[in-house]
A and B are shown apart, each in its own frame.
Chain A
Amino acid sequence: MRTLRSVVAAFIALNFFGWVTEARAASDCPCKKIGPNVCIPDPDCAHRFRWRSNSYARPPSANSGNNQGFNRGNSSTGTGTDSGSVVVVRPDRGSGRTAHRAAPNSGGGLRILETGYSQLPQLGKEVPGYGLYSYAILPSDSLRGALFLAEVFKEIPSIGDIPTRPAQVNIFYIPVRSERAGDFPGLVRTLAATPDKMGAEYTKSFYDYRMARALLDHVCNPPAASVRELCDGDLSRGPYIFTYASPASNMSSVPPPFLFVDLSDVHERAFNELLAAFKAQVKREDVSDQAKIRTLRLTILQVALKAADWINPVEKALADIVHSAAPGED
């Protein structure tokens, strides 16, 4: 009995340790698994992170790139890999080691105040003048895609409902099949009160998956080091959010820095929290620093939702056992 108790205690402690270290690692560095449920932050990354956090005290470099709104930073390492599902690509020019994260910031140094969604009927048809350009990328028609778009319609207002001047707005483009673009106002009129149905209908009849694949191709042609692993995969899961400082749908290759959020491993019920974090993230001066997305709070939410999913069948099985043990009592 004592042995059993020790085993159970050790199991719980190991799980707790794994959970805490994984959450901690997810907030800073990639996790290196050293055993079941046990991981430690990647020592190389931890070293880099320490070095980098020390160097943050330096004043940021001026915006010297050709692309308006890009802070070129001060790095010669080119890219950096971060943990979790968020990939941030850092600049490839500069003189220091990994001194600053470059980030798309709003044009002319203006802070982003709002995010609004709009349809993108064709590649290269973005409206110029917005502070940031984000794209909702769904690789295929799926339930996850429908749930994601439902949350987008719930959490993000239409660009027409935003009074803010465009230079301070992050426009969140959702690809739409050009022949259905005219039908969207009708969809909003009929299904605006039920975003879930609207998301399902949009993924089924409106979303342009061909354009989404083209956007992914632009990001992966050639892939920056930090998205290489993702680009080498089949890219069939998603959804993904891609944010850039200028219209990017018509670029054959998208140079860093950009913010690429991979929601493939994110629980569907956490989409709303992730979108809220994304909206907060784009308001930051350094859009790509992930401070609002890669948080312990969201990591714990992932763990809790997955644990809740595991518990549900157990709960049902227990209910079945109780019902079968005491038939006719209900």
Chain B
Amino acid sequence: MKFGAALLVSSTFVAIVYGVLFSVTYPRVEINSGIAALCALAGLLTCLGTVGLWKLVMGSRSL
């Protein structure tokens, strides 16, 4: 529950950041559900990647 909730919250946050960055970079392009889904996916992958990297780094340190 803890990991899942934290992942959900952080992915949502990162997805929002990605969405804002997209709208700032491309002000003429309308954000539709496809772009929103892409941001959500990118946010989730970013968080999962960060968790993976964190575990990798911390794991190698503890060795």
Contact = CB atoms under 8 A, between A and B. Distances in A.
B29 to A, nearest CB: 6
B35 interface: yes
Contacts, number: 40
Say what secondary structure dominates the interface of chain B. helix
A297 B35 contact: no
Interface string B40-58: 0100010001001000000
A308 B22 contact: no
A307 interface: yes
Interface residues of A, number: 18
B28 A273 contact: yes
A309 interface: yes
B38 interface: yes
A304 B22 contact: yes
A297 B28 CA distance: 13
A272 B27 CA distance: 10
B34 interface: yes
A47 to B, nearest CB: 32
A312 interface: yes
Contacts of B30: 269
30 contacts: A9-B52, A12-B49, A269-B29, A270-B29, A272-B28, A273-B26, A273-B28, A273-B29, A276-B28, A297-B25, A301-B25, A301-B26, A301-B29, A304-B22, A304-B35, A305-B29, A305-B34, A305-B35, A307-B38, A308-B32, A308-B34, A308-B37, A308-B38, A311-B37, A311-B38, A311-B41, A312-B34, A314-B37, A315-B33, A315-B37
Interface of B: 22, 25-26, 28-30, 32-35, 37-38, 41, 45, 49, 52
Given A270-B29, A297-B25, 19 more contacts: A9-B52, A12-B49, A272-B29, A273-B26, A276-B28, A301-B26, A304-B38, A305-B29, A305-B35, A308-B32, A308-B35, A308-B37, A309-B34, A311-B34, A311-B41, A312-B33, A312-B34, A312-B37, A315-B33
Counting from the closest, the 4 A-B pairs by CB-CB distance are A308-B34, A272-B28, A312-B34, A311-B37
